[in-house]
Structure 1
Amino acid sequence: MFTAANLQVIFDLLTKILIFLERPIVQLQIILIILTFLITWLLSKSLDFLRFKSKLPLKLNKLNQKSLIFINYLQFPLIALTLLILLNNFMNSQNWVNGLVIRTTTVTIIFTLYRLFLSISYIIFHKTTVKHYHYRFFIPLVLLFIGFQIINEITDIQQLANVVLAKFFDGVITIGGLLQATIGLYLWIYALSGIQDITYRLVKNKTTISSGIIEASLTLIRYLLIGLAILIALTNLGLNTATIAAITGGLSIGIGFGSKEILSNFISGILLLFEGALKPGDVINLDNEMATVKKLSIRSTTIITPNNVEKFVPNQTFLTSSVITYTGSDRVIRLLLPVGVSYNSNPEQVIELLIQVGQDHPEVLTTPPPSVYFIGFGESSLDFELAVWLDNPIVHKRVTSELNLAIWKVFNQHNIEIPFPQRVVHIQNN
């Protein structure tokens, strides 16, 4: 809880901040820094306009798309850094105090290196993956760094971090401990996720180990490190070992009663990862709906339907129920199209035309080749089946539609009738 001493510390810090901001040379530096970044923004927008008018982005795109990425990410920080260096030199020539400008220049250098790192990442790695960590990890990290630099310039950040917010059991919660236990834990979790992704790609490309075993091992290590980080976070909150043991013991009892499903999904996820029964990119049929596996995690599996709808399926579903996979050993599937023609048709001609339709479609495999089966004599039709092979199960519905349309056209050209069921009703008068 807050004490008079803690309140006095915060009051003294606020007083120092106000005194610092009231100094004319500090106000001058703040105004100059704001003007510098305003000019930077105007120059950056002007360069964007000139590039657009001269169609330079289009030329760069054709010549080297990577150059355009570097320009987009480094243009603003490099202009700002140049102007800040000029401002520093000017203030030194006038013998003005420029500590705040120097600190801003240092932060801008760090920011420039960060933007350089981002541009290289977008060039090397997949855009969606980099974008995910860009907004959820790197931006919070940079903002945190800049915030600490600003606070450290104004006051003693260590003194502020040691301010006690509350007492909990036998420990005390400080501002610094609370930040480490929240923001620090958040950044640690995302850092581990990024390290796992990079390690998975490197190990997968350099070894012959099953991708499922690699992903399962890395996932287990990540969760262990997250658990260790949680313990460290609790320690930073001022909790001793006995208190942590009491809290985790109480939680374990509650978890034992209410987390049977969670534990089952966790174990199922480990088994799925180690066995490699499902992999990202696999095409499955779940509840009579085709979908593509996007991601496997410890608790659930993310799948995407052809309608671009994401579903999170509990892992135990894949171990306790029947699931059809079209890509278990390979991605090749057979597509059967039933076709009925009138009894006036020549079966040999029908077979020849159906095989030709299958061969003409660009997505039908030539090996195995298309085949036709004369499966029987219906009530009003001769019944056939066209069998074709595809190497992409997810397109089977579209290919079926295109093949049916082609069959309709070729039958019309050769005057082959596709009959429909007919019934003759006799009405007897009594």
Structure 2
Amino acid sequence: MDLFDRLEQWTSTPLLRLGSSQISLGSLILLAVLAGLLLYLMRQMNRWLREIVLVRLGVERGPREAIATITSYLLTSLILIIGLQAIGVDLSSLTVLAGVLGLGLSLGLQRLAASFFSGITLLIEQPIKVGDLVSLDGVLGTVEKISFRATAVRTLDHVHVIVPNDRLVDSNIINWSYQNTASRVHLPISVAYGTDPLWLTDALLTVARQDSRVLTQPAPTVWFRSFGDSTLNFELLFWTDRPELIEPIKSDLNFRIASEFERREIQIPFPQLVLHRHRSVTTSELPDDYLPSLLRRVDLFRDYDDSQIRWLIEKGRRRTCVVGDVLCREGELGEEFYLILNGRFSVQVKGREEAIATLESGNFFGELAVMLDIPRTATVVALEPGTLFVVDRNNLRHLLERCPNLSQVMAEQLAQRQQVLTNAGLLTPTANQSRPDQLRGILRRVLRL
């Protein structure tokens, strides 16, 4: 008998019996070859589905990974069935064996089975998907992969943490990316006793608005948390749509707050016991750019208490300018309303060499473009260094509702601009109303806009 005959006899000799099927070495080799080939084809098909088909269909990363993973599970099961049938195994004969193995697996591999079905649940329901930023047991990171047993999470330090799927289903998890990525961040700040809360609020909001990663809406706010043993405890609350950058944003804001505190001479206390005689700071000793004082110099806000002034500071911001600065330009769209705190400003229109008006402290401009959604009707230029209180479109309505005197003054000024109001549809040229009724009608329309 030659070598090939011996080899054929050796590979065809039955090794074991499954029901009516006999399994030989040749059958096992054939099963391995088929399984390897089919697994290779399955991986290529899975990659093609994930990286080409679903991408072109516009499917997001999380659902794309879920579809690809479930598809790989189904194909793997199909490959196993095809391989067993190819070597002549009668699948019906495996029923009893499968039942016995299932009982043993259910007893000995309960945790693995729980992780597997938890993974299926995650892929189908998608409370967590690939690409989400999650926090679990103090670990903050991005979901990189959801497999049949565990989920891989990459932390901000690029360390991969493997979390069993059943923990993700049974535990409380913070998903920063679920439905909406906008998140509110609390930044605690402590200052020394004697610090003016309004002066501090202005400083913190100024710093927050300088960071482009801090959302303007909802606007940042400052909360007075508590009176400490040696500190006044505040919190700067701001919103960001980059939750993965919360810690870098807080770090950058802390650097800027330290610089702003040094510039404004705001002291950050440390534990100490000091005996001293307190001397109250008078109004004359406050800095010239103290925003609450600037606001109270305007007749509209002269009688406002500290809580009302703080509300104003939260809804608007300070803007300083030098000679020649153009605050708004005729014909451009406008998103901001300006209230002059100090300085003089020239109002110019095209076609006229001389200014049509000069605005000073207490005057305002920019309200037409913001409220009527029309282009700027004039260009405003600074004649001298000045300070303005700027309110954006979103906060102007709140300001008018809380400040009825400002609403009345604005209605008075709008009534003087009959041509602009007529073109905007707020005033008809044949109106027979008395002036008070006309002002109330204009004001109602303005608030509604």
User: Shorter-normalised TM-score: what interval?
Assistant: 0.5 to 0.7
2:315 pairs with 1:320 = no
Write the distance in 2 (CA, Å) between the matches of 1:205 and 1:234: 35
Match of 1:387 in 2: 237
Partner SS for 1:316: helix
Write the distance in 1 (CA, Å) between the matches of 2:86 and 2:169: 40
Aligned residues: 272
Match of 2:369 in 1: none
Write the distance in 1 (CA, Å) between the matches of 2:131 and 2:59: 18
The residue identity in structure 2 corresponding to 1:312 is: I
The TM-score normalised by the length of structure 1 is: 0.55
Conserved? CA contact 1:234–1:244, under 8 Å: no
2:259 pairs with 1:398 = no
Match of 2:181 in 1: 331
1:337 shift after superposition: 1.0
Conserved? CA contact 1:9–1:163, under 8 Å: no
Unaligned runs of 5+ residues in structure 1 are: 12-158, 426-430
1:277 shift after superposition: 0.8
Greater helix percent: which structure?
1
Partner SS for 2:186: strand
Structure 2 residue aligned with 1:357, among 207, 213, 219? 207
Match of 1:251 in 2: 101
Write out per-residue CA displacement over residues 325-345 of structure 1, whole angstroms, 9 at most, x where no aligned residue.
Answer: 111111111111111111232
Write out per-residue CA displacement over residues 200-254 of structure 1, whole angstroms, 9 at most, x where no aligned residue.
Answer: 5666557698987776565445323322322332344454446544543442232
CA gap of 1:366–1:384, structure 2 versus 1, over 3 A, is same
Write the distance in 1 (CA, Å) between the matches of 2:56 and 2:9: 45
Match of 2:159 in 1: 309
Q: Cα RMSD between the aligned structures?
A: 3.3
Write out per-residue CA displacement over residues 79-117 of structure 1, whole angstroms, 9 at most, x where no aligned residue.
Answer: xxxxxxxxxxxxxxxxxxxxxxxxxxxxxxxxxxxxxxx
2:3 pairs with 1:8 = yes
Structure 2 residue aligned with 1:419, among 251, 258, 269? 269
CA gap of 1:393–1:249, structure 2 versus 1, over 3 A, is same
Match of 1:49 in 2: none
Match of 1:55 in 2: none
Match of 1:60 in 2: none
Match of 1:167 in 2: 15
The TM-score normalised by the length of structure 2 is: 0.53
Equivalences for residues 107-256 of structure 1 within 5 A: 163-164=11-12, 167-169=15-17, 171-175=22-26, 177-200=27-50, 204=54, 219-237=69-87, 239-241=89-91, 244-245=94-95, 247-256=97-106
Write out per-residue CA displacement over residues 173-219 of structure 1, whole angstroms, 9 at most, x where no aligned residue.
Answer: 344x4444224323423432442343356665576989877765654
CA gap of 1:329–1:281, structure 2 versus 1, over 3 A, is same
Greater strand percent: which structure?
2
Partner SS for 1:367: coil
Conserved? CA contact 1:339–1:385, under 8 Å: yes
Write the distance in 1 (CA, Å) between the matches of 2:211 and 2:267: 22
Conserved? CA contact 2:184–2:240, under 8 Å: yes
CA gap of 1:355–1:217, structure 2 versus 1, over 3 A, is closer
Partner SS for 2:230: coil
Match of 1:107 in 2: none
The residue identity in structure 1 corresponding to 2:4 is: V
Write the distance in 1 (CA, Å) between the matches of 2:237 and 2:248: 15
Conserved? CA contact 1:293–1:303, under 8 Å: yes
Unaligned runs of 5+ residues in structure 2 are: 276-449
Match of 1:291 in 2: 141
Who wins on radius of gyration, i.e. which is larger? 2
Conserved? CA contact 1:269–1:315, under 8 Å: yes
Q: Percent of counterpart pairs with the same letter?
A: 30
Equivalences for residues 57-136 of structure 1 within 5 A: none
Conserved? CA contact 2:70–2:123, under 8 Å: no
Write the distance in 2 (CA, Å) between the matches of 1:258 and 1:271: 22
CA gap of 1:218–1:307, structure 2 versus 1, over 3 A, is closer
CA gap of 1:302–1:227, structure 2 versus 1, over 3 A, is same
Partner SS for 1:9: helix
Equivalences for residues 358-373 of structure 1 within 5 A: 358-373=208-223
1:366 shift after superposition: 2.5
Conserved? CA contact 2:46–2:71, under 8 Å: no
The residue identity in structure 2 corresponding to 1:8 is: L
Match of 2:131 in 1: 281
